[in-house]
Amino acid sequence: MLPMTFSNLLLEKKNAIASVTVNRPKVLNALNSATLEELRAAFSDIKNDPSVRVALLTGAGEKAFIAGADIGELATLGTVAAKEYTHRGQSLLDLIENLGKPVIACINGFALGGGCEIALACTMRLASENARLGQPEVKIGIIPGLGGSQRLPRLVGKGMAMQLVTTGEMISAQEAHRIGLVNEVTAPAALLARAEAIAQKIIANAPLAVQFAMEAVSKGMEMPLAEGLYLEAVLFAVACATEDKKEGTAAFLEKRAAQFKGR
C-alpha cells in the first residue's frame, strides 16, 4: 500500500503505532474543512490497517495541539452550512471515538474549541506542562459544535463542564489533570515518549480483548447499570471464544509470553 499524502497532516506508521500530526503550525494547527476531511481519511486508513494497533494524535510545533476551528471559515457559515459542518465534524469524532483501536491525544500546547473536542473523543489524553485547554466558543457567540457539550460533562461532571462552557476560560494542564480532563501531565520533551510507552503496553495485550474492553466502557457509559453489565457479559463471552483467549490462558499456565493473533 502506498503511503497516504496530505496537505495539512503527517501520517507515520511504525511498530504497530500510527502517528497523526496536524501540520499547520503557522495558524496553531487550526481546523478548517480540508483538515477535518484529511483527519477523516487518515483515521479511516488506520481503522482498516490491521498492522496498526494504537494511534497517537498531536500537533506540529511547540505551541498548539489544535487551537480550535478556523474562525475565518466559521464567520461565513449560515444556518444550513453550520448544521452540515457540525454533523460532518461530529461524524469524524465518532470515527475516532469508536475506531476499535486506542487513540492517545498528545496535547502539546493549546487545545481549544474543536481541538479540545477532538481530544475528548480520543481514548485517553496526555498533556505537556505547557498545554492549555478550554471551550471558548461563547466568546464568539456560538457553542461547542463537535461534541464538547456532551463529552465534556461525561468526563468531568456537569458542574465543571458548565463552568468551562459558560466562562470560555482556558485551564492549565495541571487543572485539567485535577478535574479528570487529562490522564497525565508530562514535561514537553517527554510527551510522545510517554504516549509510546503506554501504546507498547497496549500492543502487548490481545487485540480483540482491548477492542471489547473499550466497547464495554464506552457503550456501557451510555446505559443503565443493568444493561451495561449485560453488555459486559456478552463481550466477555465473545472474548472467551477467541483463539487469543486460548493462547493467553495457555501462555499464563505455561509461564511464557503470549503470541496473540487478533483472532
Cα separation, 168 vs 140, in Å, equals 10
Whether residue 169 lies in the annotated active site? no
Helical axes 114-121 vs 148-156, angle rounded to 10° = 60
Q: 232, 238 in Cβ contact below 8 A?
A: no
Which of 62, 73, 129, 137 is labelled catalytic? Answer: 137
Cα separation, 259 vs 206, in Å, equals 9
What residues are paired with 59 via a beta bridge? 22
Which of 38, 84, 117, 254 is labelled catalytic? Answer: 117
Cα separation, 46 vs 13, in Å, equals 9
Cα separation, 112 vs 64, in Å, equals 9
- Greatest Cα-to-Cα distance within the chain, rounded to the nearest angstrom: 64
Whether residue 137 lies in the annotated active site? yes
First to last CA, the chain: 23
Cα separation, 245 vs 255, in Å, equals 15
Q: 40, 95 in Cβ contact below 8 A?
A: yes
Active site residues per annotation: 117, 137
